[in-house]
């Protein structure tokens, strides 16, 4: 049952501002304005009037909003009742990394014990794809490694925070001349990379976003020789003297590699995000609690 457009009108009425409503709905301001104009043309009457910095519902608009809310309430009640009648429930959850995927696979047996008739569909993709799918309602929730949850304020939990470090082969000439306790700036790292290959995560990866931001003020960003996402493979390439990279510190500590903190330090976070207005069933709540309690 597609009730998106009813939700649009209700949100416009709530915000009394097209820009704010568009932001809450994750649609462009122009698209929302065009939809409202089209609807008003179909209705043959204005639903809202523009007054200074806000828009207010006309009597026709108030009536439309009232019925829209009733339809949305009926949909919510129908879905809830149908879900209770049906023995099989589907929860869709996204994952962005090997770390988050391992977490989900680890907790599934316990979840299955408590909810044997609930199917969990796990979908693995890059961060930008997963976030977009949660925003547009394609996924119920996602366990992600990311740089920020600002787009999910009020419907996200930060579970873990990891420092990202610059990693070199222990045989690299820089390591013999400098203390491993020093924190390196973007300019210093750029100078080190002039004499070697740079192993960089692919676009859409959380660490790639952090690294691009770290180098953004340099006149020219270092060029990568390899581009891949698997941390174990990147670590093996570094170990074989094939280059340098940025990795979470847990991937390199207690290993035969040299690593340096950054100045300023950068971190990736592991977070649980869920779509706005998700109807949380007992199964959703139990799965979310298992994820929160899992030792990341």
Co-location of 231 and 260 in the same domain: yes
**pLDDT by residue (tens digit) across 218-277?**
988 888 887 888 888 888 888 888 889 999 998 887 677 889 999 999 999 999 999 988
Co-location of 231 and 146 in the same domain: no
Co-location of 165 and 264 in the same domain: yes
In this prediction, residue 86 has a pLDDT band, given cuts at 50, 70 and 90, of low
pLDDT value at position 241? Answer: 84
142-146, 189-193, 222-226, 255-259 — most confident range: 142-146
More confident residue, 11 or 176: 11
CATH assignment at residue 59: 1.10.10.10
Q: What is the dihedral of CA 184, 190, 192, 197, to 10 degrees?
A: 130
Co-location of 168 and 261 in the same domain: yes
Co-location of 216 and 94 in the same domain: no
In the chain, which residue ranges form alpha helices assigned H by DSSP?
Answer: 4-15, 18-25, 29-43, 59-85, 98-114, 127-135, 173-177, 186-193, 206-214, 231-239, 282-293
Mean pLDDT of 284-296: 88
CATH assignment at residue 149: 3.40.190.10
Query: Is residue 87 predicted with pLDDT exceeding 70?
Result: no
CB 22 within 8 A of CB 29: yes
C-beta neighbour count of 293 within 10 angstroms: 9
CATH assignment at residue 202: 3.40.190.290
Mean pLDDT of 112-123: 91
CB 37 within 8 A of CB 9: no
- Residue 260's domain comprises 161-268
Report the share of the chain in percent with pLDDT over 70: 95
Co-location of 14 and 144 in the same domain: no
Q: Of 106-110, 184-188, 195-199, where does mean pLDDT reach its minimum?
A: 195-199
Q: Name the domain boundary from 64, 84, 104.
A: 84
pLDDT value at position 88? Answer: 64
Please give the tally of structural domains in the chain.
3
More confident residue, 284 or 2: 284
Co-location of 152 and 277 in the same domain: yes
Co-location of 221 and 148 in the same domain: no
pLDDT value at position 59? Answer: 92
Angle at which helix 282-293 crosses helix 98-114, to 10 degrees, equals: 130
Co-location of 101 and 193 in the same domain: no
The number of helix segments (H) and strand segments (E) in the chain equals: 11, 11
More confident residue, 205 or 94: 94
């Amino acid at each position: 049952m597609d009730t998106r457009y009813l939700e649009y009108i209700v949100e416009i009425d709530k915000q009394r501002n097209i820009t704010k409503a568009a932001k809450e709905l994750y649609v462009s301001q122009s698209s929302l304005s065009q939809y409202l104009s089209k609807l008003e043309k179909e209705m043959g009457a204005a639903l809202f009037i523009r007054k200074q910095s806000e828009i207010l519902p006309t009597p026709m608009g108030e009536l439309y909003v009232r019925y829209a809310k009733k339809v949305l309430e009926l949909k919510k009640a129908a879905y809830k009742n149908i879900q209770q009648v049906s023995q099989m429930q589907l929860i869709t959850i996204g994952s962005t990394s090997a770390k988050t995927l391992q977490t989900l696979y680890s907790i599934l047996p316990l979840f299955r014990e408590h909810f044997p008739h609930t199917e969990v569909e796990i979908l693995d993709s890059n961060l930008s794809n997963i976030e977009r799918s949660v925003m547009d309602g394609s996924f119920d929730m996602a366990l992600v490694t990311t740089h920020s949850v600002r787009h999910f304020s009020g419907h996200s939990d930060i579970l873990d925070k990891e420092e990202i470090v610059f990693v070199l082969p222990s045989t690299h000439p820089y390591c013999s001349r400098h203390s491993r306790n020093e924190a390196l700036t973007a300019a210093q790292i750029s100078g080190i990379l002039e004499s070697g290959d740079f192993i960089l995560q692919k676009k859409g990866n959380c660490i790639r976003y952090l690294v691009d931001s770290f180098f953004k003020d340099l006149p020219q960003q270092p060029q990568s020789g390899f581009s891949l996402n698997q941390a174990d493979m990147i670590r093996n390439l570094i170990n074989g003297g094939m280059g340098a990279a940025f990795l979470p510190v847990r991937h390199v500590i207690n290993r035969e590699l040299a690593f340096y903190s950054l100045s300023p330090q950068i971190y990736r976070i592991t977070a649980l995000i869920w779509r706005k207005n998700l109807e949380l069933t007992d199964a959703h709540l139990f799965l979310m609690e298992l994820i929160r309690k899992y030792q990341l």
